[in-house]
Amino acid sequence: MEQSIKGEYIKIEKAVGFSLKRIRKGYSKERILRELRKFNKKLKLKGKILNEEDIFEIARNRIRAKEKFGEFAAKLFFDEDGLRYSTPPSVAEYRAKRLKTNSIADVSCGVGSQLVYFAKESEKAVGVELDRKRAYIAKLNLMAMGEDAEIIVGDALSEEIIKQIDAEIVFSDPSRPPQEEVRSLENLEPPPEKVIERYSKITSKIAFELPPQLPPERIPIEGEKEYTSLNFRLNRLALYCNELAECELSAVSIPSMERVTNEIERIQPVSDGIKDFLHEVDFTIIKAGLLPNLLGKLDLHADIVIDDGKRVILSSNTRSSSNFVKDYFVEEVCNFSFSEINDKLKKLRAGKITLRFSLPPSDYWEVRTKLESGLEGEEWLYLFKKEEKAIIARLLD
């Protein structure tokens, strides 16, 4: 990494800020680039690695990054793919704490969103990135967050790079095609099997981020498969090899840090009727195949009411106590008839209703509008569908 980056960091930040102001004013891209070229000349920003197009892209992505990175978005740097695949801060922090060590190497560090937290938690962190521009952006992000790590530009699988790595733990978050009908390990770069083969001479402690859509049975590498939920949504899948593995399968809920593993006693759900409570299960648990373990942990004997491939809804006569579960109280069960449902909603003093069953997106608001016709109450209720039955429920805190 060129030493000049330290001098250019402030200039690049000014150029990004310059672009941001004009984006927010609604200027066209062409006008912003034209004005940015003049501005950069005044700054004496040479643009050896990042040109005006790159700076404009970083500014635009800084706006988009707010949802994912919150307050940190205002000072971070992303290209398009860097933002799409960057690890959210709370997940990156969790991963860094779990892998805390004296020295760690992130051998496919991208724009450095995970590397920043490795640098924060471990004594020494090194990042390897094949793309020179992304390696440069990773260094900018380290500076922005006040952390320090060495960045090596090159092919992580080459002997030349491997000779420069001295780490207790090797971590890899390989790149993947944006669109892929069925996620697999074959199209990841660098391939996890190759990373294990090349870096096993350095350490046996190797971990990966893998596409979270992969079910455990399609991961041929031995180790702990840990599925991560962020705010009740499947977000990440980590694979911890050898000594890093604590079990075979696990799921963790962030920010609560609740954890479920395959070693917990299992209670199998059954198929029966609708009871007093509905339990919507975080799909992270379903993907990991840990539903019986979750029920065992909660000592919850529940029935499967809905399993449509998108959601699993259980029912029982007791509330649950898990961040992997959303509980609802069943208010009414009736035939799935618009008029009958609408009548029940009026009696329950409903004002709004959320549909919790599958239907074409184009039909959602038409159906909801019909069901909400004439509602004047204040309650916000939820509607589930089991075959020809409608279940009206209230979400519990």
| pLDDT tens-place string over residues 3-59 | 567 778 999 999 999 999 999 999 999 999 999 999 998 888 877 789 999 999 999
Structure tokens at 131: 């793309």
pLDDT of the residue at 4? 62
Of the candidate ranges 45-49, 120-124, 340-344, 349-353, the one whose mean pLDDT is the lowest? 45-49
d(CA 246, CA 62): 37
Say whether pLDDT at 1 is over 50.
Answer: no
Whether residue 214 contacts residue 238, with contact meaning beta carbons closer than 8 Å, is answered with no
Label residue 376 by pLDDT band (50, 70, 90). very high
Say whether pLDDT at 193 is over 70.
Answer: yes
Fold of 83-260: Rossmann fold (3.40.50)
Strand-pairing partners, residue 224, are 240
d(CA 268, CA 296): 8
Total residue count of the chain as it appears in this document:
397
Percent of the chain with pLDDT over 70: 97
Structure tokens at 117: 């937290």
Whether residue 208 contacts residue 192, with contact meaning beta carbons closer than 8 Å, is answered with yes
Label residue 279 by pLDDT band (50, 70, 90). very high
d(CA 16, CA 9): 11
Structure tokens at 108: 């496919």
pLDDT of the residue at 9? 92
End-to-end CA gap in the chain: 50
Helix (H) or strand (E) holding 159: helix 159-162
Of the candidate ranges 100-104, 121-125, 203-207, 267-271, the one whose mean pLDDT is the lowest? 267-271
Instruction: Please state the rounded mean pLDDT for residues 116-138.
Output: 97
Label residue 187 by pLDDT band (50, 70, 90). confident
Domain borders along the chain are 5-64, 83-260, 277-395
Say whether pLDDT at 270 is over 60.
Answer: yes
